[in-house]
Structure 1
Amino acid sequence: MDGSMCAGLFTRRFGPPPREGLPTTVLVHGLGLSGRYFVPLARRLAAGGTTVLVPDLPGNARSRGVVRRTPDMGEVAAALARWHRRLSLGPTVAVGNSVGCQVVASFAAQHPDAVRRTVLLAPALEPRTAALRHFGRLLADAPREPLALLALAATDYLLTGPVRCALSFRHALRDADAAFEQHLARIDAPTLVVRGTGDTIVTAAWSRRVAGLVPRGQAVDVPGTAHAAHYSAPDTIARLIRDFSAKEDT
């Protein structure tokens, strides 16, 4: 793994450098976090020869200093698009987790030529749901996650800062109510929606709705996992992404 500031964002790279004509997989983290919790998944994807890039989004963790104020979801998606363009990546497999799915949806909807496939892992936040209800779902999910993940997340939240986490959550709630479903409906790329059956944050009904909103969407459940299935079951998620990425366009 290599990690450094790259095209304006701190970026971890797994596998070979990006190569022209071969798709790169980009992993987009959730609210207040860094790309560190993607390491188990990224290593497994890279083991098959895939180039995997994991940026810390602007305002988060090791990219905290690249912005002075907390960006809204549209600004984060625009920053991801600039990063993608500066690296000349070509069509990518864009993978988001949790609120990162909102970033991926916005990016894919507005830059269809930059995305070959999208994978939405536990897409949050569900529109028209109160903040307190979201928070309650998060608290219910925590005991279902590995302790190592909880420790990693706590460190990242402190690095990002509680004020920025709170502002980012407010921006994400507004985006969920105003734009998330519209962006999903505009995604042209084949899209896989993945939900752990033990996820208390993303309901089964919402996961199916997300897949139904995307013109070429499909949903799959991963038994025995919660919100961060990519961390607790990286082999399973890596296999799903590899198989989905290898399919012919339809």
Structure 2
Amino acid sequence: MEQSTQAGLFTRRFGPPPREGVPNVVLVHGLGLSGRYFVPLARRLAVGGATVFVPDLPGNARSRAAARRAPRVGELAGALTRWHRGLGVGPSLLVANSVGCQVVAAFAARQPHLVRRVVMIGPALEPGAGGWRQCGRLLADAPREPLSLLGVAVADYLVTGPFRFVASFRHALRDAAESFEGHLARVAAPTLVVRGAGDTIASRAWTRRVARVVGDGRTAEIRGAAHAAHYSAPAALAALIEEFTSGGRA
């Protein structure tokens, strides 16, 4: 793994240096977190020959100083665009978890030429579900995740800070109510929507709806995993992604 700062964002890179002919993957984390919980999946994908980039979004974790306040979802998508252009790579496979799916939906809707395919893992937040209900779903999911993930998440939340976390949560709720589905409808790239079978945050009905709203969507479910399937079941998810990118139906 190599670490650097690109366009103001702390970035991890796995696999070979970016070059023409080598597929590149961008992993986008969820609310208040860092890219650390994507490391198991990044390593699996890099073994397959891909160049994998894992940024910390502005205002979060090691990119906290990149924003003076908690950015809105659209601002995060704009920062991701500037960061991606700075990499100088071609269209990417974008893989996102939770609220990161809202960021990627906005990014893909605005910058379709930078997107090869999209994978959404446990897309959140679900429109129509209020803040307290979403918090209840998050608390219900916590016991279903590996203890090591909870340690990573708590450390990241502390670095990001409680005030920024709350502000980011409010921004994400507003985006879910006003913009998320509209952005999804403008995603033209083939999209795989994945959920862990034990996910209490992204329901089966909602993930199926996401797959119907995007232009070319399909779904998959991973047994024995919850909201962060990329962390608890990286091998299973990497296999789904590899099948999906090779043209399979997952």
> TM-score, normalising length from structure 1?
0.98
- The answer for the alignment partner of 2:115 in structure 1 is 115
Tell me the equivalent position of 2:233: 233
The aligned residue for residue 57 of structure 2 is 57
Match of 1:17 in 2: 17
1:23, distance to aligned residue in structure 2 (A): 2.6
Which is worse superposed, 183-192 or 12-21? Answer: 12-21
Letter in 2 for 1:225: A
SS at match of 1:59: coil
Alignment-mate amino acid for residue 154 of structure 1: V
- Cα distance in 2, alignment partners of residues 105 and 164 from structure 1: 22
Distance (Å, rounded) in 2 between the aligned partners of 1:136 and 1:78: 30
SS at match of 1:127: coil
Q: Distance in 2 between matches of 1:41 and 1:120?
A: 14
Structure 1, gaps ≥5 residues long: none
After TM superposition, the structure 1 = structure 2 runs for residues 38-57 of structure 1, keeping only pairs within 5 Å, are: 38-57=38-57
Q: Which amino acid aligns with 1:200?
A: T
**TM alignment of 1:80-229, pairs within 5 A:** 80-229=80-229
Instruction: Please state how far the C-alpha of 1:248 moved relative to its aligned partner.
Output: 7.9
> CA separation in 2, counterparts of 1:156 and 1:8?
18
Residues 40, 231 of structure 2: 8 Å contact kept: yes
Identity of aligned residues (%): 66
Residue matched to 1:27:
27
Cα deviation for residue 68 of structure 1 reads 0.8
**3-state DSSP of counterpart to 2:4:** strand
SS of aligned partner of 1:25: strand
Cα distance per residue 1:27-75 (max 9 Å; x no partner)? 0000000000000000000011110000000000000001111110000
* Cα separation, 2, equivalents of 1:166 and 1:18: 36
Residue 77 in structure 1 maps to residue 91 in structure 2? no
Counterpart residue identity of residue 135, structure 1: C
2:117 partner letter: R
Greater than 3 Å deviation, 4+ residue runs: none
Task: Tell me, yes or no, if the aligned pair for 2:92 and 2:115 is still in contact at 8 Å.
Answer: yes
What is the number of equivalent residue pairs in this alignment?
Answer: 249
SS in 1 for 2:179: helix
Equivalent-residue separation in structure 2 for 1:23 and 1:75 (angstroms): 26
Q: Which secondary structure does the structure 2 equivalent of 1:65 belong to?
A: helix
How far residue 89 of structure 1 moved from its aligned partner, in angstroms, is: 1.5
Aligned to 1:17, the other structure's residue is in SS state: coil
The TM-score, its normalising length taken from structure 2, stands at 0.98
SS of the equivalent of 1:132 reads helix
Query: How far apart, CA to CA, are the structure 2 residues paired with 1:207 and 1:66?
Result: 32
Following TM superposition, by how much is the alpha carbon of 1:18 offset from its aligned partner in structure 2, in angstroms?
Answer: 1.1
Please report the RMSD computed on the Cα atoms of aligned residues, expressed in angstroms.
1.1
| Alpha-carbon distance in 2 for matches of 1:12, 1:245 | 22
How far has the Cα of 1:22 moved from its partner? 3.1
